[in-house]
């Protein structure tokens, strides 16, 4: 028999560690995307004229908002996870006590975490393994109605990679557009 309180605390500690590291990554990504997106937007304004410029103001502005907003949304969601740590412990405790499958998933989540110390690959493994395990826990927590913070926390942890992927894909789009706009502006 496992100690439910200790297991719940360890599971939330793993989630908080993931949220803290992922939040830092989200802020760094937002700063990088901001530089690329805003510089491309400004070059586009300088390169275009007439109706093309008017269209770029609207379309480019929307793209900038999406590109910068995605990692900031991820950061904000992860910040909420960290703020509600005590409520999460209570929710995980209730989930473990009421569902043997959830207990197994929580044990797997806690035990599957690689050591963050040492090589940089340990941190990358924490992100990949953590997201996979949290997705399994999210699936179970969504079906339980008496949990207040856990479903939102699991959603924040599992949507993080998608939001960062959106931001990075938008960075590639802005880089390509920036090159085109630079050529238009110079010639």
What are the sequence ranges of the domains in the chain? 4-186
42-78 b/e (C-beta count within 10 Å ≥ 16 → b):
ebbeebbeeeeeeebeeebeebbebbbbbbbbbbebb
**Greater pLDDT, 86 or 122:** 86
**Residue 3: per-residue pLDDT:** 83
- Helix and strand counts by DSSP (H, E) for the chain: 6, 0
pLDDT at residue 28 tops 80: yes
Identify the burial level of 134 via C-beta atoms within 10 angstroms of its C-beta, where 0-12 means exposed, 13-18 middle and 19 or more buried: buried
Task: State how far the Cα of 2 lies from the Cα of 104, in Å rounded to an integer.
Answer: 10
Task: State how far the Cα of 104 lies from the Cα of 4, in Å rounded to an integer.
Answer: 12
- The answer to whether the pTM exceeds 0.75 is yes
Residue range 103-114: average pLDDT?
A: 72
Give the pair of three-digit tokens for residue 13: 């500690």
pLDDT tens-digit readout, 38-88? 999 999 999 999 999 999 999 999 999 999 999 999 999 999 999 999 999
> What is the distance of C-alpha 100 from the center of its chain?
28
Question: At 121, is the pLDDT very low, low, confident or very high (cuts 50, 70, 90)?
Answer: low
What separation, in Å, do the N-terminal and C-terminal C-alpha atoms of the chain show?
Answer: 73
Task: Give me the half-sphere count of Cα atoms (radius 13 Å) on the Cβ side of residue 94.
Answer: 15
Question: At 1, is the pLDDT very low, low, confident or very high (cuts 50, 70, 90)?
Answer: very low
Share of the chain above pLDDT 70, in %: 86
Strands (E) across 18-116 are located at none
């Amino acid at each position: 028999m496992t100690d439910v309180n200790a297991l719940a605390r360890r599971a939330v500690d793993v989630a908080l560690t993931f949220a803290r590291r992922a939040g830092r990554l989200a802020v760094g990504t937002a700063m990088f995307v901001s530089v690329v997106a805003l510089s491309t937007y400004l070059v586009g304004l300088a390169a275009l004229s007439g109706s093309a410029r008017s269209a770029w103001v609207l379309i480019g502005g929307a793209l900038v908002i999406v590109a910068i907003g995605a990692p900031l949304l991820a950061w904000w969601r992860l910040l909420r996870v960290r703020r509600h740590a005590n409520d999460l412990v209570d929710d995980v405790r209730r989930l473990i006590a009421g569902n043997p499958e959830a207990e197994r998933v929580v044990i797997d989540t806690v035990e599957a975490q690689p050591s963050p110390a040492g090589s940089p690959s340990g941190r990358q493994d924490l992100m990949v393994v953590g997201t996979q395990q949290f997705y399994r826990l999210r699936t179970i927590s969504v079906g339980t109605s008496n949990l207040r913070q856990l479903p939102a926390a699991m959603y924040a942890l599992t949507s993080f990679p998608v939001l960062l992927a959106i931001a990075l894909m938008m960075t590639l789009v802005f880089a390509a557009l920036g090159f085109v706009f630079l050529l238009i502006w110079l010639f």
